Amino acid sequence: MTILSNGHQWKYSEFIDNKNYSFDKDKILKSISKDDIDDAYNIISKWEGYSPTPLLSLNKLSKELNLKNIFYKDENKRFDLKSFKALGGAYAVEKVTKGNKDIVVATATAGNHGRSVAWGARRLGLKCKIFISEFVSEARGQAMSDLGADVIKVKGNYEQSLIECIKQSTENNWQIVQDVAWKDYMVVPKYTMAGYSVMMREIIDQINNEKITHVILQAGVGGMAGAMVSGIARYLDNVPVTIVVEPDSAACVLESIKTGKIEKIDIKRESLMGGMSCGEVSLVPWEILKNSVKHCISLPDDDIAKTMRLLGNSTFSEHRIIAGENSAPGVIGLIASYEDQIIKQKLQLDENSNILIIGCEGDTDKEMYQKLINQ
Ligand SMILES: Cc1ncc(COP(=O)(O)O)c(C=O)c1O
């Protein structure tokens, strides 16, 4: 198949430059320190069952786009949780409980973060309370029950589930392990991000001395993107072009980068990219991202199912890649940028480009995955 056969087939909604861009490694490493990053790798790499996830080459796509390499970090292979999220919540559980077996951990979640916390609690033999909104699917709730967590359904949306989590945790002296930061709650979200940065450490061991020139990072509340930028500051000698990609219905990083301050989005329509459908960038990542993201791009849902299918049927590479809804936007962001001559030139996408894309998750929701690839 010729991927670009009809030209301009891959849609983006908005592309912006960050007028406050200035990538300052020392400043970034003040938010998440070198020690935080190294600690996370030293601890997580000793967990039972740990092995680095593969860095695959989308060699058919890079040939078609005349780029040197497109590297795809395949988080479908992350422990048995099939998502980079496994590195964050579970690591934070270990850090906050410090070997104390009597602590009960609690979190509010839309799915994958809670799964990581539940899994981390089970690893350490701890009790775990997970608060989910009434809109979280039965399958996602069940997955966390299966990991031994007590799953509590709350009427209303995610915010309501978080309010209930904080209320019950305060009453019962449970330890909250949240991935989102707010004023006075920064330490635990930093642990989750330090955990995510393990991906970057693995990548530098996997790129065979190639120099990464561009990184495309999906963002929900910005934790993963911020963590990867910290990893870049910690591990890379060069500074690649950093591009954040978001659903156009929830482009909270893009809107905040535009004005230089945190902007809250009123989400009118939930994106297919569920994990990225977040209305407000979290405080810790914002401190990192506000100056170190060079460009932002937002996407409609239109090409998600197609991209998942093309990754799955080895159109883009030699591999059949199981990529969930939140893994597709990195690839779409790249192709849509390539098809637009102005953006392509601005990003200097050419035969010397080594692009890094994060395949954040596999089929974490099997039913949804099957439905989308069969569309
Ligand atoms: C499953 C999943 N959840 C959430 C996110 C967003 O992460 P964050 O909220 O840390 O920005 C992603 C990817 O960006 C994802 O793949």
Burial label, 98 (beta-carbon count in 10 A; 0-12, 13-18, 19+): exposed
pLDDT at 4 over 80: no
Q: What is the pLDDT of residue 152?
A: 97
Ligand 1 centroid from CA 362, angstroms: 12
For a mutational test of ligand 1's pocket, the pick from 361, 365, 368, i.e. the residue with the most ligand atoms closer than 8 A to its C-beta, is 361
Cα 150 to Cα 122, 132, 163, 169, 348, distances in angstroms: 12, 11, 17, 13, 50
> Of 178, 213, 244, which residue sits at a domain end?
178
pLDDT at 259 over 70: yes
Q: What percent of the chain has pLDDT over 70?
A: 98
pLDDT at 168 over 70: yes
Residues 172 and 281 in one domain: no
pLDDT tens per residue, range 120-144? 999 999 999 999 999 888 888 999 9
Q: What is the pLDDT of residue 5?
A: 62
103 within a domain of the structure (yes/no): yes
Ligand 1 centroid from CA 77, angstroms: 16
Residues 208 and 339 in one domain: yes
Residue 8 neighbours by CB distance under 10 Å: 9
136 within a domain of the structure (yes/no): yes
Looking at the chain, how many residues does it have? 375
Residues 228 and 369 in one domain: yes
Residues 212 and 75 in one domain: yes
Tokens of 66: 């005349």
Residues 257 and 349 in one domain: yes
6 within a domain of the structure (yes/no): no
Count how many domains the chain has.
2
Q: Which residue has the CA at smallest separation from atom 12 of ligand 1?
A: 275
4 within a domain of the structure (yes/no): no
Ligand 1 centroid from CA 259, angstroms: 23
Q: Secondary structure of 179-205 in the HEC alphabet?
A: CCCECCECHHHHHHHHHHCHHHHHHHH
Average pLDDT over residues 14-33: 98
271 within a domain of the structure (yes/no): yes
Ligand 1 centroid from CA 254, angstroms: 15
Residues 94 and 67 in one domain: no
- Owning domain of residue 122: 89-178
Tell me the one-letter amino acid at 370: Q
pLDDT at 1 over 90: no
187 within a domain of the structure (yes/no): no
pLDDT at 205 over 80: yes
Tokens of 248: 């156009």
Tokens of 180: 């989102």
pLDDT at 181 over 80: yes
Ligand 1 centroid from CA 221, angstroms: 7
Q: Which residue has the CA at smallest separation from atom 5 of ligand 1?
A: 275
Residues 30 and 131 in one domain: no
Residues 355 and 294 in one domain: yes
CA–CA separation, 308 vs 314, rounded Å? 10
1 within a domain of the structure (yes/no): no
Tokens of 73: 């970090």
Residues 122 and 259 in one domain: no
Band (pLDDT 50/70/90 cuts) for residue 363 is very high
Q: Which residues line ligand 1 (CB under 6 A)?
A: 83, 85, 112, 218-225, 275-276, 278, 326, 360-361
Ligand 1 centroid from CA 321, angstroms: 18
CA–CA separation, 173 vs 327, rounded Å? 37
What is the DSSP pairing of strand 104-109 with strand 175-176? parallel
Give the CATH number, domain containing residue 160: 3.40.50.1100
Q: In degrees to the nearest 10, what's the CA dihedral of 339, 353, 56, 234?
A: -120
157-163 long-range Cβ contacts below 8 angstroms, 24+ apart: 157/133, 158/108, 158/110, 158/133, 160/133, 161/108, 161/109, 161/131, 161/132, 161/133, 162/108, 162/131
Lowest mean pLDDT of 24-33, 189-198, 263-272, 313-322, name the range.
263-272
Give the HSE-up count for residue 363: Cα atoms under 13 Å, Cβ half-sphere: 16
User: Residues 229, 266, 249, 255: is their CA dihedral positive or negative?
Assistant: negative
pLDDT at 2 over 70: no
pLDDT tens per residue, range 244-254? 999 999 999 99
Residues 283 and 229 in one domain: yes
Q: Please name every residue paired with 298 in a beta bridge, in sequence order, or none if there are none.
A: 14, 246
Element containing residue 253 per DSSP (H, E): helix 252-259
Widest Cα–Cα separation across the chain: 60
Q: What is the pLDDT of residue 133?
A: 92
Residues 219 and 295 in one domain: yes
For a mutational test of ligand 1's pocket, the pick from 192, 293, 360, 365, i.e. the residue with the most ligand atoms closer than 8 A to its C-beta, is 360
Q: Please name every residue paired with 204 in a beta bridge, in sequence order, or none if there are none.
A: none
Which atom of ligand 1 lies nearest, measured to the CA of 88?
Answer: 10
Residues 224 and 293 in one domain: yes
CA–CA separation, 34 vs 230, rounded Å? 9
